[in-house]
Amino acid sequence: MTTTSLSLDEVEERAFAALSACGASQIAASSLARAVAAAEAEGIASHGLLYVPTYCEHLGCGKVVRDAVPMLSKTKPSTLVVDAGSGFAHPAIDMGFESLIPLAHEMGIAALAVRNSYNCGVLGYHTDRLAGAGLLAMGFTHAPASIAPVGGRRPVIGTNPFAIAAPGANGSVVISIDQSASVIAKSEIIKRKRDGRGIPPNWAFGPDGEPTTDADLALKGTMAPSGGYKGFGVGLLVELLASAAAGALPSTEASPFSGPVGEPPRTGQFFIAIDAGATSGGIFADRIATLVEAIVGQDGARLPGKRRVAQRAKAEREGVTVPTELLERIARISSGN
């Protein structure tokens, strides 16, 4: 496979050009392009430039409303809601964060619900931004149903990721966790199918409810919950917040994030931001330092999020490599061909 090296600025520029050519507003295209570059920087190719053709396809078929304008409301002293209007999640989250960050610092804790939304990409990208503003952050986002309850075969919840980020000094992020309720993100199976590769037998079940190594069968069946019933419980937690508490569609009614079939998915996100200095009596930083030392002080132990930090630092220095064929496809989209 032939690859091309790009700087992160070039990644952002190419994503912006393609999204703009397909009708995304400048605000939406800019927001998504930044997130695409961040995903490439951290080595998360499934949500980087690889996803841009899907974004563009969904702009064209109506799964994303091109001219959607997010609407922000403050429903209680420390709760915010953004209705994304069936547009992209990223500009809706951006709008919410502009109010959530100062509100959490003022109140000690604040929540943001986003409804009538779309795939928000790498969830940790968003919680890291809150941590960078000095807040202990939790994020939840649900997805079209793909996980069945233990013992069942009919999917009722999505891969439903959650993310947690802890702030450090000077805008740093000390700990960053981003994981789904499934063994692996569904986008990884989609990528394996596209590449003509199989999957490990513990990733998914076929339509018959049996484990499969065939990526195509896996996409016709259900995802395996991480840790069995415990993973399904995590997925339910996310469903309660990102779907029910946010006022979004349940996972069972949301249309797929992939392909042109269906209406806008109208899924949701939920964020909780905490001024941990206020809740800890001012010793949060010391407690985090002790926790971090207990982890990194062990040979071979890795602090969650550190691999992404190292990958990002390397990408900022050296750029990233992207399949040339993908870049050519994005260039054709940008030119209207």
Q: How far apart are CA 28 and CA 19, in angstroms?
A: 9
DSSP secondary structure of 161-215: -EEEEEE-GGG-EEEEEEE-SBSS-HHHHHHHHHHT----TTSEE-TTSSB-S-H
Catalytic residues: 46-47, 188
DSSP code per residue over 24-89: --HHHHHHHHHHHHHHHHTT-GGGTGGGHHHHHHHHHHTSS-TT---EEEEEETTEEEEE-TTS-H
CB 41 within 8 A of CB 125: no
Nearest to 121 by CA among 257, 264, 284: 257
Answer whether 123's CB lies under 8 Å from 138's CB. no
